[in-house]
């Protein structure tokens, strides 16, 4: 990767320091991988270059030159995006679609995991000072210049003030303090953190938004900003910077993006990318419809469930698609238990006191863990195309605690720990020490067939302990509302995306005051001392681990947090699918990686034979 630095006098020093700063938290795991022949035999292009033409600082793709035109059609499960505001996304669909339209100052190299320039032309790091050099001559999709004022607005008035999703603001805080931001000149800004901060560069991948378009809404307050760029917003009004801009949204049917003619990435012929004219998301109800759409050639990409892998692999040689093995999923799938012991505004307990006594009992959670048949889930649902998961970090995380070996299903041990805590079985029913029948609900999002199947299996596993389990798949938005607003739930089967390169991205999940601290969410007026003792240690880990700059110094902190979650079991991890994806053979410049998936480089992908 070529990095351009303006301070030529110290360029050698900066480059050496910068490579050390980045490489120290990205071991060689992503430079060489063994995730299947479909990936390891791919001839990847060289890294992008910076090139200036007529005063415009472009990114020049080094991928083979393609042909312009055509469309790529993908599917998305659920009801479609909830917002097109990249600052306010809280679900994977909205995040991925907003990500098409808005770029950050920096991004992640899809193969090596290095932090590299995007809207920025270059950057330098000197202790706790991060200087960003913005590209010159870039324009928003409406033709307005992209300037340093957009950067200052994005961080000063959106991120730092807590507008939209506060995850980035929270992750940037060090001992409760945010970084300071300075305008150096028309194309240079400097961030100064209270202390040297290992995850900070990755926080600068946050999408930069257009001040001239967003400020009238943020000036009216949080509620107006949060409602800004709903799916009902006319597509022609939306101003963006990414490779694609919104063209059309038809609720429950499709989302259509078209190429942004002002995009700042070019090919080796100095022609503006992307090659594709159009990118279409078809909104499908569930994974069965997703398969039907692909087999009817209505879509071009399919994420293949374990049960179908062998069939698609056998069909591949005589089909119009390739099958790629992308390695373990970068996210995690789990059963989360509600440890909340708080009251609603009306004075009623959010979780009934009887259930609190079970869920906050470590022995009860341990019994649940040992009763779950992960091997059965892998065999029957994933058809062996997965591995059992016991850690809060994904199996391909560079911070994975490999000393956590997990365990097999052990009903006898589960019964022993229950009995040791006063639970008794009478006439095939489990009761607590006060004579209360053990009965609770497990929720998941309807439409995800794998999660629904997992729910059925876990219900059966726990009924082997004579518990009464009510499994309730519900609409995704209703599930999110239960978990994040009303707190009227017992257990839930959920998944979270994650970064295999930076555990600090999970701060909002593990810090006791984090908005995604699902298992024990605090209310604004809750005292900090109400934390469970191990929650206090998690808080300390995520405060201190980010201040260690060397990978070898940081890893013990994150090893310990995984130990705590494994021991205390507020979240019980289930399994990690191997990502198998099919794509039509007509699409070229497809360079899948375990880190970034299949179509991270949509701006470079083209259709063979298009004019």
Could you tell me if 143 and 263 lie in one domain? Answer: yes
Q: How far apart are CA 17 and CA 203, in angstroms?
A: 19
Same domain, 349 and 313: no
pLDDT band at 65 (very low <50, low <70, confident <90, very high): very high
Same domain, 191 and 207: yes
Q: Give the dihedral of Cα atoms 443, 449, 451, 456; nearest 10 deg.
A: 70
> Is the sign of the CA dihedral 72, 74, 79, 80 positive or negative?
negative
| pLDDT higher than threshold 60 for residue 433 | yes
pLDDT at 24 over 80: no
Regarding whether 372 and 298 lie in a shared domain, the answer is: no
The top-scoring range by mean pLDDT among 52-56, 197-201, 323-327 is: 52-56
pLDDT (average), residues 159-178: 90
Query: Do residues 296 and 362 share a domain?
Result: no
- Determine the pLDDT at residue 29: 39
Confidence of residue 368 (pLDDT cuts 50, 70, 90): very high
Is 288 within the bounds of a domain? yes
State the average pLDDT over residues 397-407: 94
The Cα 231–Cα 260 span in angstroms is 19
Structure token pair of residue 157: 């008035």
Residue 21 has what pLDDT?
35
CB 361 within 8 A of CB 354: no
Q: Could you tell me if residue 326 is inside a domain?
A: no
| Same domain, residue pair 289 and 381 | no
DSSP string across 152-183: HHIIIIIITTT-S--HHHHHH-BTTBPPEEEE
Two structure tokens written together for 578: 């191997």
Residue 1, domain member (yes or no)? no
Whether residues 132 and 210 share a domain: the answer is yes
- Helix 362-371 to helix 411-420 angle (10° resolution) is 170
Question: For residue 610, how far is the Cα from the chain centroid?
Answer: 33
More confident residue, 213 or 528: 213
- DSSP conformational letter for 593: B
Domain that holds residue 433: 332-577
In whole angstroms, give the CA distance from residue 138 to residue 305: 41
Question: pLDDT per residue over 94-121, tens digit each?
Answer: 888 988 999 999 999 998 889 999 999 9
pTM above 0.75, yes or no: yes
Report the share of the chain in percent with pLDDT over 70.
92
Phi first, then psi: give them for residue 194, nearest 5 degrees: -55, -30
Q: Is residue 3 domain-resident?
A: no
Residues 572 and 589 in one domain: no
The Cβ of residue 246 has, within 10 Å, a number of other Cβ atoms equal to: 25
At 497, phi and psi to the nearest 5?
-70, 160
- Confidence tier at 460 by pLDDT (50, 70, 90): very high
The answer to the question of residue 471 being in a domain is: yes
Within-domain flag for 60 = yes
For residues 178 and 314, membership in a common domain is answered with yes
Of 162, 90, 97, the closest CA to residue 479 belongs to 90
Q: What Rg value do the Cα atoms of the chain yield, rounded?
A: 25
Report the domain count for the chain.
Answer: 2
381 pLDDT above the threshold of 50? yes
CATH number of the domain to which 163 belongs: 3.40.190.10
Give me the pLDDT at residue 611, please.
62
- If asked whether residues 237 and 343 sit together in one domain, one would say no
Contact 84, 100 (CB under 8 A): no
**Mean pLDDT comparison of 38-42, 166-170, 514-518, 538-542, highest-scoring range:** 538-542
Residue 305 banded pLDDT, cuts 50, 70, 90: confident
Whether residue 236 has pLDDT greater than 70:
yes
Instruction: Say yes or no: 316 and 363 in one domain.
Output: no
């Amino acid at each position: 990767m070529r990095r351009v630095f303006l301070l030529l006098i110290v360029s050698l020093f900066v480059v050496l320091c910068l490579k050390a700063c980045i490489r120290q938290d990205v071991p060689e795991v992503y430079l060489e991988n063994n995730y299947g022949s479909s990936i390891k035999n791919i001839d990847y292009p060289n890294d992008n270059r910076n090139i200036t033409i007529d005063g415009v600082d472009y990114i020049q793709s080094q991928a083979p030159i393609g042909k312009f035109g055509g469309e790529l059609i993908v599917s998305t499960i659920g009801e479609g995006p909830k917002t097109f505001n990249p600052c306010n996304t809280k679900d994977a669909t909205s995040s991925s679609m907003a990500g098409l339209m808005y770029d950050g100052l920096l991004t992640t190299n899809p193969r090596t995991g290095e932090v590299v320039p995007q809207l920025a032309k270059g950057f330098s790091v000197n202790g706790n000072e991060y200087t960003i050099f913005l590209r010159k001559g870039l324009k928003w999709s409406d033709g307005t210049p992209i300037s340093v004022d957009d950067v200052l607005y994005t961080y000063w008035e959106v991120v730092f003030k807590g507008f939209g999703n506060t995850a980035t603001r929270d992750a940037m805080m060090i001992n409760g303090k945010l970084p300071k931001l300075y305008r150096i000149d028309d194309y240079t800004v400097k961030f100064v953190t209270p202390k040297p901060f290992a995850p900070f560069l990755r926080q600068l991948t946050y999408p930069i938004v257009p001040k001239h378009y967003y400020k009238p809404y943020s000036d009216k307050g949080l509620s107006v900003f949060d409602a800004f760029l709903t799916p009902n917003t006319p597509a022609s009004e939306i101003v963006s910077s990414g490779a694609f801009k919104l063209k059309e949204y038809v609720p429950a049917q499709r989302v259509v993006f078209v190429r942004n003619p002002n995009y700042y990435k070019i090919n080796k012929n100095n022609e503006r990318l992307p090659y594709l004219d159009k990118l279409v998301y078809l909104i499908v109800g569930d994974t069965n419809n997703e398969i039907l759409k692909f087999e009817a050639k209505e879509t071009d990409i399919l994420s293949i469930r374990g049960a179908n892998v062998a069939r698609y692999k056998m069909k591949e040689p005589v089909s119009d698609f390739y099958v790629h093995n992308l390695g373990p999923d970068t996210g995690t799938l789990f059963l989360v238990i509600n440890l909340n012991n708080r009251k609603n505004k009306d004075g009623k307990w959010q979780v009934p006191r009887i259930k609190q006594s079970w869920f906050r009992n470590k022995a009860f959670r341990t019994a649940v863990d040992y009763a779950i048949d992960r091997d059965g889930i892998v065999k029957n649902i994933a058809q062996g195309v997965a591995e059992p998961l016991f850690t809060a970090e994904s199996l391909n995380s560079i911070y994975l605690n490999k000393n956590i070996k997990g365990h097999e299903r052990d009903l006898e041990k589960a019964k022993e720990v229950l009995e040791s805590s006063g639970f008794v079985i009478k006439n095939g029913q489990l009761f607590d020490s006060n004579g209360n029948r053990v009965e609770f609900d497990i929720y998941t999002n309807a439409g995800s067939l794998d999660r629904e199947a997992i729910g059925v299996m876990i219900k059966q596993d726990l009924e082997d302990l004579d518990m009464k389990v009510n499994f309730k798949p519900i609409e995704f938005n209703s599930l999110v509302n239960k978990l994040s607003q009303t707190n009227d739930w017992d257990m839930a089967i959920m998944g979270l995306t994650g970064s295999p390169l930076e555990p600090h991205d999970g701060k909002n999940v593990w810090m006791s005051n984090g908005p995604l601290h699902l298992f024990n969410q605090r209310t604004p007026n809750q005292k900090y001392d109400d934390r469970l003792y191990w929650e206090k240690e998690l808080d300390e880990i995520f405060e201190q681990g980010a201040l260690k700059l060397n990978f070898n110094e940081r890893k013990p902190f994150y090893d310990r947090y995984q130990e705590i979650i494994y021991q205390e079991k507020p979240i019980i991890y289930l399994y990690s699918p191997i990502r198998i994806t099919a794509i039509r053979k007509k699409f070229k410049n497809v360079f899948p990686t375990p880190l970034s998936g299949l179509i991270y480089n949509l701006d470079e992908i083209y259709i063979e034979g298009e004019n």
